[in-house]
Chains A and B, each alone.
Chain A
Amino acid sequence: MPNPAQSGQGADVEIAAALYERSGAAAYDVSAEQFAAIVDEILRKYLFQNSVQNSAQNSAVNSSHVSAEQKAAFCAELRLEELALARACAAGNERAWQDFINRYRRKLHSMALHITRDGAHAAELADSLFADLYGVNARDGERRSKLVFYTGRGSLEGWLRTVMAQEFINRYRKQKRTVSLEEQTEEGVQFAAAVPAPACSSDKLLESATDEALAELSSEDRFTLASYYLDGRTLAEIARTLGLHESSVSRRLERLATGLRKRILAGLRMQGMSHAQATEALATDVRDIQLNLRSRLTQDSGAKPFPGRKVPAQDAGDGSND
């Protein structure tokens, strides 16, 4: 009678061989053992990790045993061919790089243009990412390509787009930090008002009631709320992200807005407020009337009473005002 562990290993070997054949990694001089190691690394990162998390929640699940079917199902979803290409590129295979350049070089520029909406910045961003993908920066004398981090969960193109978006945000932040105040003033940037003082005690009740109401929502609902009300995303963008129709997002937002209001009011009443008090507390947010008079006065002092006329310099000692 065959040992279950041995039969499991046999199935693993079969799966690995099938995956290797499907990936076409042999064309990039990636051996079957190397590819099996890559797949094993991905399995450990995602499948086994999830299994451990599940077992923490549900003791019935044995984390040490992930069935061959589970592995096969997980691997079937992987983009094996793109994974082989990416890893071969990371290993420095010339042919893989040639394929990568043929397929993605132009797309990278196109993606960068869509992200930056500016030709010059797009070229810079795409070239920068390309250098990172190639691994120009050597660490400990070893070239490290970013393509090592691609795991085949989504398409390579989608992964490149995400990496580029991350790079764009990092780059934007870096540049934002180095922009001088004069430049910002010239651009007409209004400096953000100071963060208001911590909420007063009456807000504590409101905050706790709101937190409780938000905690009852699903993560998708909270994501929808944050995307729409905080980030200013359009319904279409949110719908695309969640794989829903715009009207569904719209209805969900309506439902969430009304439901949240009701839940917060109910929470406030649970904490001892009358209905009128709760409604008033929710309607009149004290922060609306908190004004930073100092900053207002400072900003107002720069305004000229007659913008069309030049005011002569006040410096009497100058004598050069003509």
Chain B
Amino acid sequence: MTEVPKIVCDRLRAALPEQAHPGADLLAAFVEQALSATERDGVLQHLALCGDCREVVALSLPAADRVPPQTAPQTADVDGVRTTVSRAGAPAPHKLSFAWPNLRWAALAAGVVVAAAVLLLHPGKLNQATLPSVNPQVATTAPSASGSQIASSSVPSSAPPLSITSSQTDQLAVMAKTDKAQPKSELRLSKKLKAGRVVTPSPQTESGMLLADNMMDSRQTPKRSATPSASAGAFHYDARSSRAATETVGVYGAAAPVTTEPAENALMARNNTAPKDSPAIEKAKPALQEKEVDEQEQKIPAAAVPTPSLQARNVMSAARLASTAKESLAPHVTWAIKAGVLQRSLDSGRSWQEALHADHPLLCYASHDVDVWTGGQAGTLFHSADNGVTWVQVQPSIKARQLGSDITHIELRNIELRNNELYGNLRDDARPAEILLSTSNNEIWSSADDGKTWEKK
């Protein structure tokens, strides 16, 4: 960080506040960002000049938000209080950011990001090895394709076998991991491809998929246009098996002669289903475990075959995974209720998004880790176990008597810590074991099973 001239520090220190110290209520509201712009500016003006109030504000930050000081205590201050107060007697700084639960999530997030990055940067690397040998075949066979079938190119027996380099091995490993998270239908398609049979897409559907693919992966477009068979109006079918690279099939053809079951394929594309009697493409290369794959295939319901653009699906799945993981692993989600609506901020309060708008105005919330509870008028209670991505409405009731009064306060407790009542915070790695609701008619309802059953205290 760029240092400022010493004279700046001296002059900042020499300035004295002209106004009286703001009250605790204003400072608390300032910390909670609950002041109007005018009031906030007034408080900031005072804070800029008053080190004592800055110290109070720093100490008033909520416990989860407070960051332990990193620097050694400074003794050269005006009164020797400000810089040493927060550091005095500190036995050991909290190491929340390096605690195992955070690292565990961080490792998972890093893995997902790496997988997504590899897929985004090198999506077609595996198939590129097969393209030169496949495309010439397509060029010769595509014009003769007619009727309801596409005569797919057959990989010549003289085609050199794929040698998997170490980088490709890495990609395969990453893809295998990604496949675990993908819908099973994609794996099933891969197995179909191993067997050499594949559902032929309609040109309209495929061009749509290609468009979607291009929109998602613009880096890939130049590579495709550079392939000999790629031309305007052409569609490509680029399938990839993550399990066996040697059985990857790439089929390229011109769009014009393809007239395969448009209605059926459109339905297939829309419903993500395949017709049971979909025509088979001739095998590009006999798979080694054809029998085994066929047996597996018989178990696969026909409705599970996905749309053909695997590459697009891979990218989509990875992106979806990454976004989901990013959303669910957001480290600092800040919550607030404004005008009866629960709002969420993923950037420390800089921007807010509406997280939950219930029928009745919400009044309070409590959160721990990714568990969020929010309650409001007329017994409205919602629970989210994924940081507000999805919500489930909970209806507290005791012996068929439903909670109808306003929920004014929610507290999450961990019953494991009852022996240590003094510091009864929830541990970072503990899920809240008890939920306490305070109601407007001064009842306290508690649930120890995530809101399934309730009792009144």
Question: CA A260 – CA B55 in complex, angstroms?
Answer: 25
C-beta contact mask, A173-195 vs B, less than 8 Å → 1, else 0?
Answer: 10010000000000001101100
C-beta contact mask, B334-353 vs A, less than 8 Å → 1, else 0?
Answer: 00000100000001111000
B271-287 interface (Cβ within 8 A of A): none
Q: How far is the CB of A106 from chain B (nearest CB, A)?
A: 5
- Closest A residue to B63 by CB, please name it: A114
Question: CA A254 – CA B4 in complex, angstroms?
Answer: 9
Question: Which of A95, A121, A165, A213 touches B442 (beta carbons < 8 Å)?
Answer: A95
Contact call B41/A219, Cβ cutoff below 8 A: yes
Q: Does B38 contact A (CB under 8 A)?
A: yes
- Closest A residue to B425 by CB, please name it: A110
Q: Does B288 contact A (CB under 8 A)?
A: no
Given A106-B421, A240-B65: A226 in contact with B7 (beta carbons within 8 A)? no
Contact call B5/A233, Cβ cutoff below 8 A: no
Question: CA A244 – CA B350 in complex, angstroms?
Answer: 6
Contact call A282/B423, Cβ cutoff below 8 A: no
Contact call A24/B442, Cβ cutoff below 8 A: yes
C-beta contact mask, B232-251 vs A, less than 8 Å → 1, else 0?
Answer: 00000000000000000000
Contact call A118/B89, Cβ cutoff below 8 A: yes
Question: Which of B28, B71, B90, B442 touches A161 (beta carbons < 8 Å)?
Answer: B28
Contact call B89/A232, Cβ cutoff below 8 A: no
Question: Which of A76, A102, A109, A243 touches B33 (beta carbons < 8 Å)?
Answer: A243
C-beta contact mask, A277-312 vs B, less than 8 Å → 1, else 0?
Answer: 000001101011000000000000000000000000
Q: Does B81 contact A (CB under 8 A)?
A: yes
Question: CA A111 – CA B3 in complex, angstroms?
Answer: 34
Q: How many residues of A contact B (CB 8 A)?
A: 98
Q: Which residues of A contact B11 (CB under 8 A)?
A: 207, 210-211, 214
B151-182 interface (Cβ within 8 A of A): none
Contact call A250/B423, Cβ cutoff below 8 A: no
A253-267 interface (Cβ within 8 A of B): 253-254, 256-258, 260-261, 264
Contact call B442/A285, Cβ cutoff below 8 A: no
Given A236-B67, A288-B6: A241 in contact with B31 (beta carbons within 8 A)? yes
Q: How far is the CB of A241 from chain B (nearest CB, A)?
A: 6
Question: CA A84 – CA B210 in complex, angstroms?
Answer: 62
C-beta contact mask, B129-142 vs A, less than 8 Å → 1, else 0?
Answer: 00000000000000
Q: Does A27 contact B (CB under 8 A)?
A: yes
Contact call A240/B61, Cβ cutoff below 8 A: yes
Contact call B48/A226, Cβ cutoff below 8 A: yes
Q: Does B260 contact A (CB under 8 A)?
A: no
Question: CA A21 – CA B329 in complex, angstroms?
Answer: 39
Contact call A232/B71, Cβ cutoff below 8 A: yes
Question: CA A123 – CA B421 in complex, angstroms?
Answer: 12
Contact call A168/B59, Cβ cutoff below 8 A: yes
Contact call A158/B55, Cβ cutoff below 8 A: no
A189-218 interface (Cβ within 8 A of B): 189-190, 192-193, 203, 206-207, 210-211, 213-214
Q: How far is the CB of B36 from chain A (nearest CB, A)?
A: 8
Q: Which residues of B contact A145 (CB under 8 A)?
A: none
Contact call B34/A154, Cβ cutoff below 8 A: yes
Q: Does A225 contact B (CB under 8 A)?
A: yes
C-beta contact mask, B206-230 vs A, less than 8 Å → 1, else 0?
Answer: 0000000000000000000000000
Q: How far is the CB of B407 from chain A (nearest CB, A)?
A: 10
Question: CA A211 – CA B60 in complex, angstroms?
Answer: 30
Contact call B45/A219, Cβ cutoff below 8 A: yes
- Closest B residue to A159 by CB, please name it: B28
Contact call B81/A169, Cβ cutoff below 8 A: yes
Q: Does A162 contact B (CB under 8 A)?
A: yes
Given A114-B63, A169-B85: A285 in contact with B4 (beta carbons within 8 A)? no
Q: Which residues of A contact B44 (CB under 8 A)?
A: 219-220, 222-223
Q: How far is the CB of B160 from chain A (nearest CB, A)?
A: 50
Q: Which residues of A contact B13 (CB under 8 A)?
A: 230
Q: Which residues of A contact B38 (CB under 8 A)?
A: 50, 53-54
Contact call A261/B5, Cβ cutoff below 8 A: yes
Q: Does A99 contact B (CB under 8 A)?
A: yes
Q: Which residues of B contact A223 (CB under 8 A)?
A: 44, 47-48, 54
Q: Does A77 contact B (CB under 8 A)?
A: yes
Q: Does A142 contact B (CB under 8 A)?
A: no
Q: Which residues of B contact A239 (CB under 8 A)?
A: 348
14 A–B pairs (Cβ distance < 8 Å), ordered by A: A106-B424, A109-B424, A116-B89, A152-B25, A161-B31, A162-B24, A210-B5, A222-B49, A226-B48, A233-B54, A243-B33, A253-B1, A256-B4, A288-B6
6 nearest A-B residue pairs (beta carbon): A165-B59, A243-B349, A222-B48, A154-B29, A24-B440, A257-B2
A residues adjacent to B (C-beta < 8 A): 22, 24, 27-28, 46, 50, 53-54, 76-77, 81, 95, 99, 102-103, 106, 109-111, 113-119, 121-123, 149-155, 158-159, 161-166, 168-169, 172-173, 176, 189-190, 192-193, 203, 206-207, 210-211, 213-214, 219-220, 222-223, 225-234, 236-237, 239-241, 243-246, 248, 250, 253-254, 256-258, 260-261, 264, 282-283, 285, 287-288
Interface contacts beyond A109-B422, A219-B41: sample of 14 additional A-B pairs, CB < 8 Å, sorted by A:
A99-B438, A109-B424, A117-B90, A153-B35, A159-B28, A165-B55, A229-B4, A237-B58, A253-B2, A257-B2, A260-B4, A260-B8, A264-B7, A264-B8
